[in-house]
């Protein structure tokens, strides 16, 4: 769940992106997983959903472990990938997943993350019918 004010705007090469509404100082927690707002899916959940729902999860979700996906229900799902991100994701001492500004971020600047830090690729066919529960 986003903990800061943001807005969506178009980007030159990525379509839609997430942008800071205000200056964000280095070290600010900008996002925290909140199970009352964000959604976690496990592989067994996929058996209960149709292909369009599965495709939404693949598009906007993060594949955080072999059998687990997270989907942000707010605009955080529009945060784009960067090899040089201004947001890093980690866990705190209580195992909460946090997104933290790793430098000062100016008002109007796009918020980016390195997807490789939290989104895995199991190298399996992720079509609805062929999802491998043992990836």
In a domain, 126, yes or no: no
pTM comes to: 0.81
Q: Please, which residues have CB within 8 angstroms of residue 35's CB and are 6 or more apart in sequence?
A: none
Domain membership of residue 14 as a residue range = 6-117
| Domains contained in the chain, number | 1
* Nearest C-alpha neighbor of 60 from the set 82, 78, 34, 42: 78
> What's residue 133's pLDDT?
45
Per-residue pLDDT of the chain (135 residues; tens, 9 = 90+): 999 999 999 998 888 999 999 999 999 999 998 988 899 888 888 888 888 988 888 888 887 777 888 888 899 999 998 999 999 988 888 888 899 999 999 999 999 998 888 777 533 444 445 555 445
Show the tokens assigned to 93.
């001492």
Q: Output the CA torsion sign for 71, 93, 98, 127.
A: negative
What pLDDT does 113 receive? 92
DSSP code of 33?
-
Task: Report the alpha-carbon distance of residue 32 to residue 43 in Å, rounded.
Answer: 23
Q: For residue 11, give the CATH number of its domain.
A: 2.170.270.10
Whether residue 67 is contained in a domain is answered as: yes
Q: Are 3 and 30 in contact (CB under 8 A)?
A: yes
- Residue 25 covered by a domain: yes
Site of tokens 């991100």: 85
């Amino acid at each position: 769940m986003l903990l800061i004010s943001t807005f969506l705007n178009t980007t030159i090469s990525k379509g839609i992106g997430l942008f800071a509404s205000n200056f964000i100082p280095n070290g600010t927690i900008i996002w925290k997983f909140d199970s009352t707002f964000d959604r976690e899916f496990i592989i067994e959940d996929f058996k209960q959903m149709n292909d369009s729902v599965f495709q939404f999860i693949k598009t906007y979700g993060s594949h955080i472990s072999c059998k687990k996906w997270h989907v942000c229900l707010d605009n955080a799902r529009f945060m784009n990938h960067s090899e040089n991100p201004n947001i890093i994701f980690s866990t705190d001492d209580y195992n909460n997943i946090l997104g933290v500004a790793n430098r000062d971020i100016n008002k109007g600047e796009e918020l980016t993350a390195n997807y490789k830090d939290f989104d895995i690729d199991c190298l399996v066919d992720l079509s609805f019918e062929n999802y491998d529960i043992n990836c």
